[in-house]
Amino acid sequence: MATLSSVVWPPIVVRSGEATLTIRQATQQDVPMLERWDRDPEVIACVTDDPTSPQAFIDAVWCEEIAANSDVTCYYIAELDRRPIGGIQVIDPHLEPTHYWGEIEPNLRAIDIWIGDDRDRNAGHGRAMMEAVIDRCFAEPAIAAIVIDPLTSNTEAHRFYRRLGFQVVGRRMFGDDDCLVHRLERADWREGN
């Protein structure tokens, strides 16, 4: 039986090295920045296998995406000492209205993460962001696991997620995107952290 627990949270604040990492809900004021990140070639390469795509999230109209934040899908901005560095989307894949994940069991969370600017990549910020969001997801006792869907071609992401404890479930097509679904069980997160 599904348990409805919201994916809308108050800000998460953690230490990341010498800095403070804050993960807060995205607002309309973030739209220009999200649009800029959406056109970044490295973000595009991580989200779609289409090398001609002008943006990563091809159907995203960011003002509408942010306005649609709800108990089952919510965008967040990660800030390092108040400077935005990345975006995160957390969804309830069983209940969210687009049914992106199709038929999927209840009591899961799905996470998308991206680092917006090149200067912030490969600096440990993604790991800090993921750890904070995973901790928050599993703070809800009913949440059994977290699923993610990096592109099959994004082998760097596969290594990143495996270091966090995610296990490969298998390949799956999401629209035109060939993805390698990973899953992190609650027990595996507790054991590793």
Q: Average pLDDT per run of 10 along the chain, which is 193 residues long?
A: 72 89 97 92 84 84 95 96 96 94 96 90 91 96 96 94 97 92 93 64
Number of structural domains (the chain) is 1
> Would 125 be classed as within a structural domain?
yes
Which range marks the domain in which residue 33 is found? 12-192
Check if the beta carbon of residue 21 is closer than 8 Å to that of residue 88. no
> Would 5 be classed as within a structural domain?
no
> Would 179 be classed as within a structural domain?
yes
Q: Is 139 left (phi over 0), alpha (psi -120 to 50) or beta?
A: alpha
| CB atoms inside a 10 Å sphere around CB 111 | 21
Structure pTM? Answer: 0.92
Check if the beta carbon of residue 126 is closer than 8 Å to that of residue 90. no
Check if the beta carbon of residue 110 is closer than 8 Å to that of residue 126. no
| CATH code of residue 148 | 3.40.630.30
| CB atoms inside a 10 Å sphere around CB 44 | 20
How much is the pLDDT for 3? 45
How much is the pLDDT for 1? 37
Check if the beta carbon of residue 79 is closer than 8 Å to that of residue 85. yes
> Would 4 be classed as within a structural domain?
no
- Evaluated on CA atoms 75, 42, 40, 51, the torsion sign reads negative
How much is the pLDDT for 191? 66
> Would 2 be classed as within a structural domain?
no
How much is the pLDDT for 68? 94
> Would 62 be classed as within a structural domain?
yes
Measured CA to CA in angstroms, residue 102 lies from 66, 89, 92, 155, 174 at distances of 22, 17, 12, 24, 9
